[in-house]
Chains A and B, each alone.
Chain A
Amino acid sequence: MKGFRFVLAGLIFGIIMVKSEAASWYRIQEMFRFQSFHMYGIIGTAVTLGTLAVYLIKRFRINDSEGNAIVLNDKDKGWKKYIIGGLVFGLGWALTGACPGPMFVNIGYGYITMIIVVAGALLGTYLYGLLKSRLPH
């Protein structure tokens, strides 16, 4: 089954989120209080290596597993939606200690109440869709 590789990639991602403790409310608090290098080390390493990988993919025009060129789309222009959206996200991230991936990882880990956070996130996503045309972008 072709989809299995995505399940496997997600499974590994879930293990990384727990073992790195990036899925920990406490670690997110520690990050926003600048009291440990831990989260900065994780994100810094990931972005440094990610930048190198993306550069090499473009430089050597590497194809994906199907033989098609790997395309990385540029984000849309603008700044309001990025700053305001990011700020709203940050408020929720520091409160729940969970960004969208770790919400689901934590449900698997046994934090059943994280389902409430997911319900809130779905509601928030729906509200954005509903209000999109009235918001500054």
Chain B
Amino acid sequence: MLEFLKQPWPWYISGISIAAVMVVLLYFGKSFGFSSNLKTLCTIAGAGKKVSFFDFEWKTQKWNLLFLIGSILGGIISANLLKSDAPLQLSPATINDLSAVGVHFDGQLNPEQLYGMHALSIKNLLLLLTGGLLVGFGSRYAGGCTSGHAISGLSNLQLPSLLVVIGFFAGGLIMTHLLLPLFF
């Protein structure tokens, strides 16, 4: 069983599992949406005193914070008990394209060049901080992220969620094809 879980999962197993997480949360009376946690964390840090957007009863979101803690634990377990020795099976075309813009494929989950501790430069710090800022700002502006819109929203046939997913792609394509080559 452990050996089976250690291999990278095929897309259909992954897709089924994500749908299962969404259904389990619905069964628990909650709705799957991760980025709300970012708002909750701002509220806990005291943002509600100055900005009314953050002035809400954060304890209603305690379940989601527990989910967040679980997700960190899931990362720890994956790295320690379920790590696959094989390099990530990235498409050769992507490896070539990335190499052309100056990103070396190292077979890991994320490029050491961007995320490695030893690679931490002012440039990387700014890229990571800015990227995170865009994700945080965008998910609250759109009222949700990949889980809340692309999974939960589309599953509930919400037209707004389809607009958001179109926006995700517009932004993602601009970054990937126009901006990323300038950064590396």
Contacts and interface: CB of A to CB of B under 8 A. Distances in A.
A46 B9 CA distance: 14
Interface residues on B, range: 35 or more
Given A12-B21, A47-B150, A108-B79, A78 B133 contact: no
A105 B179 CA distance: 26
Contacts of B179: 91, 95
Contacts of A20: 8-9, 11, 13-14, 17-18
Nearest to A30: B94
Given A6-B67, A50-B152, A126 B42 contact: yes
Q: Per DSSP, are chain A's interface residues mostly helix, strand or loop, or mixed? A: helix
A82 B17 contact: no
B138 A91 contact: yes
Contacts of A73: 31
Contact of A97 (B19, B41, B110, B147): B110
Contact of B175 (A47, A57, A90): A90
Contacts of B136: 92, 100, 120-128
B133 A86 contact: no
A93 B168 contact: yes
A24 B15 contact: no
Interface of B: 5, 8-9, 11-19, 21-31, 34-35, 37-39, 41-42, 45, 47, 51, 53-54, 62-64, 66-79, 82, 88, 90-91, 93-94, 97-98, 105, 109-111, 114-117, 120, 124-125, 127-143, 145-147, 149-161, 163-177, 179-180, 183
Given A24-B110, A82-B142, 10 more contacts: A13-B18, A32-B172, A51-B156, A51-B157, A70-B27, A79-B160, A86-B170, A89-B168, A91-B179, A104-B75
